[in-house]
Amino acid sequence: RCVGGRCTPFGCDNQKYSSNQWDKCGICQGDGSRCKVYSGVRQLPSSGSGTMTAVRIPRGARSIHLKGNLTSRRNYIRLETSSGVPLMDGHQLATQRQRIRELFAVGTQITFRRGSSSRSNVLSTAIKPVNEDIYVKIVYSDPGEQQLNWRFYFNPNDEDTTYRWLLVSEPCSVTCGVGHYTQEAACA
Residues of the chain under the 50 pLDDT cut: 118, 161-163, 188
Write the CB contacts of 78 (distance below 8 Å, at least 6 apart in sequence): 51, 86, 88, 89, 90, 91, 136, 137, 138, 139
- CA–CA gap between residue 91 and residue 34 (Å, rounded): 36
* Residue 5 vs residues 11, 55, 102, 125: alpha-carbon distances, Å: 19, 43, 24, 28
How much is the pLDDT for 97?
A: 61
How much is the pLDDT for 96?
A: 59
How much is the pLDDT for 113?
A: 75
How much is the pLDDT for 147?
A: 82
Query: Quick one: CA torsion of 97, 101, 103, 109, rounded to 10 degrees?
Result: 160
How much is the pLDDT for 23?
A: 84
Write the CB contacts of 169 (distance below 8 Å, at least 6 apart in sequence): 181, 182, 183, 184
